[in-house]
Every structure is written in structure tokens, then in C-alpha cells.
């Protein structure tokens, strides 16, 4: 659960880092590059990649929340081990996200160029016309995204009790049983019969009998 959630969160963070790098290269290229390749095409890939990143992030958060509910009864030593594991994986996550972001940025520009039927002269055009600028901005965004992701993971590990307390209803066995346990037909019929009996008004004596008396 932990590894899959971290993998999905890393993928979402790398995609968002690629979008930020793509925008940053476009802005800085107007000032630092003589011929900014990003100025010649539309950038539909930014919205598409952002949508995909948000969708993956939502799935990662759902898996993470499910994992927190399942691990609510863990001992403090187990939680400390998970926190240490998070710190130990920081370097691996940083390298993975940087490599992924360095692939996503030129892939976004290639998609935009194909959509706009624009020609690409060389690899530098995929990074805005300057490999130095493009790669530098991409690495900076990837490192920033990695730090933000690991800080978030560390905060969640340290405050999982408070997070679960906020959504305490998910930890209640009674509530889970209410929504998840199947209702037997005999229980349903008997419950409905009791409710109908309580709702029906009491009947008085017949009108003719009252008049005769």
C-alpha cells in the first residue's frame, strides 16, 4: 500500500513539475533565449498533463487514506519505521522524479508541435531553444516537487492520528457495519412491521355502537 501510494504520488508530482517547468521555460525564454521555440506553438499539453496529474493525485490520496485507516492500530515503533522509510527513500524519489520530469517536458513540447504541425530543428527546441535553460529549469522544478512531496509524506506520518480523528467516522465499526453489512430479509420485514404498527393511529369503537349506548 505504501509503495504504490508513493509511486502514484511521485508520478503526479513529476507531471505537475513538468507543467511548471514548461511554463517557466516559456517565461524565461522570452528574456534569455534569442529564439524561444515555445512561442511558435500552442500549449494544449499543459492542460492535458495537469488534468492527468490531478486525477493520479486523487487516486494516490484515496489509497493513502485507506492505508491510514487500515494502519490506525499500528504501534508507535511501526509508525517510526514508516517515517524512517520515507526519509530513506528521499534520494531515490528525487532521482526518479527528476528523470521522469526530464522526459515529460520534451514529450509535452513534442505533443504541442505535432498538434500545431510545427517543425523541430533539434533537441534544444524541445526545451525552449536552449538545452542549458530547459534542463536547468526542469531539474529545479523536479527537486522542488520532490521536497514538497517528501515534506507532505513526513507530515502525514507524524500527524496521522489527527488526520484520522478528523475523519473519525471511518474508524467506527458501527458505522462501517451500518453501510457494509447486508440486511437480512426477516430483520427488514420485522423492523418495517414495528414501524408501521407505531405509526398507525389507535382505532376507537364503531360509530353505531357509540350511538346505541
State how far the Cα of 48 lies from the Cα of 52, in Å rounded to an integer: 6
Q: Is 178 helix (H, G, I), strand (E, B) or coil?
A: helix
- Least Cα distance to 138 among 105, 172, 180, 183 occurs for 105
Confidence of residue 205 (pLDDT cuts 50, 70, 90): low
State how far the Cα of 48 lies from the Cα of 56, in Å rounded to an integer: 13
Enumerate the H helices of the chain as residue ranges: 2-32, 44-70, 76-88, 90-116, 131-158, 160-166, 173-180, 185-199, 207-212
Q: What percent of the chain has pLDDT over 90?
A: 38
Question: Which pLDDT tens digit goes with each residue over 4-40?
Answer: 777 899 999 999 999 999 999 999 998 988 888 898 8
The domain segmentation of the chain, as residue ranges, is 2-174
Question: Which pLDDT tens digit goes with each residue over 129-141?
Answer: 999 999 999 999 9
Question: Which pLDDT tens digit goes with each residue over 101-149?
Answer: 999 999 999 999 999 888 888 899 999 999 999 999 999 999 999 999 8
Q: What is the pLDDT of residue 99?
A: 96
- Least Cα distance to 144 among 54, 16, 43, 27 occurs for 16
Amino acid at each position: 500500500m505504501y509503495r504504490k501510494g508513493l509511486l502514484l504520488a511521485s508520478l503526479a508530482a513529476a507531471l505537475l513539475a513538468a507543467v511548471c517547468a514548461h511554463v517557466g521555460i516559456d517565461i524565461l525564454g522570452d528574456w534569455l533565449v534569442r529564439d524561444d521555440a515555445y512561442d511558435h506553438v500552442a500549449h494544449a499539453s499543459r492542460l492535458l498533463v495537469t488534468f492527468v496529474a490531478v486525477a493520479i493525485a486523487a487516486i494516490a490520496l484515496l489509497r493513502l487514506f485507506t492505508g491510514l485507516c487500515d494502519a490506525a492500530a499500528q504501534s508507535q515503533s511501526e509508525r517510526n519505521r514508516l517515517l524512517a522509510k520515507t526519509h530513506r527513500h528521499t534520494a531515490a524519489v528525487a532521482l526518479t522524479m527528476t528523470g521522469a520530469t526530464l522526459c515529460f517536458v520534451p514529450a509535452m513540447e513534442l505533443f504541442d508541435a505535432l498538434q500545431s504541425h510545427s517543425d523541430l530543428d533539434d533537441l534544444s527546441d524541445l526545451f525552449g531553444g536552449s538545452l542549458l535553460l530547459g534542463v536547468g529549469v526542469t531539474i529545479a522544478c523536479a527537486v522542488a516537487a520532490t521536497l514538497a512531496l517528501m515534506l507532505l509524506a513526513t507530515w502525514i506520518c507524524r500527524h496521522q492520528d489527527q488526520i484520522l480523528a478528523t475523519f473519525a467516522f471511518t474508524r467506527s465499526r458501527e458505522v462501517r457495519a451500518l453501510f457494509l453489512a447486508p440486511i437480512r430479509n426477516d430483520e427488514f420485514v420485522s423492523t418495517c412491521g414495528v414501524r408501521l404498527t407505531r405509526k398507525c393511529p389507535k382505532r376507537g369503537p364503531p360509530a353505531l355502537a357509540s350511538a346505541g349506548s
